[in-house]
Amino acid sequence: MGRKKHEMWVRLMVLLANMGRCVYCDRDSSEEVDHVVPLSTKGADHWGNLVPACKACNLGKSDKGLFVWVAELTYRQRARDSGASPHGPKGLVWMREHIDNAFDEVQVRIEAVKAELDDEARRDWFFDRYWSLGKNDPVWLWRAWVEPSAAEARTKGYPKPPPPPRVRITRSRLGQLLEPVSPDETP
């Protein structure tokens, strides 16, 4: 099973989940899409296995499992905050409690992201507007452009776009012209 490049609408949908923040550290803005279950351990290459991540967390997690990555991240944060002895005066039991709490918090955020991605109205909103964007476009550029309208759509419950106007093709000397069709008219 190989890694594929996801459609831009899928990448935008995932990056803007969790309010646009990294699901692991919940501090930094999401810049990349990460697989919760790594592809190297038979994780699915599907949007249901994707979460938003900052560049540092995505690089740090690499192909590690979720618990191992959260433990490493928690240990680093505690070491940075408390100095030479990240375990504190209470030892490894105290550190294990912090790791368990951090893992629970990350799991809650991941479940919230999965719930967002499973929201059919939200998925349809992203697809209806951005399905035509190319896979190789710079995602950071599109994200900056899409983020305000996605935030507005979130508050409105991801409304469906209005249907396109009905038109008919008429012939003229210069080629084909489109003529509006009234809603009352039957085909």
- The predicted-structure confidence for 59-101, as pLDDT tens digits, reads as follows 988 888 888 888 888 887 777 666 555 555 566 677 788 888 8
CA 30 from chain center: how many Å? 8
DSSP 8-state secondary structure symbol assigned to residue 21: B
Q: Residue 182 has what pLDDT?
A: 80
Q: How many CB atoms lie within 10 A of CB 2?
A: 5
Which secondary structure element, helix H or strand E, spans residue 32, and what is its range? strand 32-35
* Continuous H helices in the chain: 8-15, 55-61, 66-82, 92-118, 120-130, 139-156
Q: Residue 27 has what pLDDT?
A: 87
Written as one letter, the residue type at 110 is: I
* pTM, entire model: 0.77
Computed over every residue of the chain, the mean pLDDT equals: 84
Cα(156)–Cα(133) distance, rounded to whole angstroms? 24
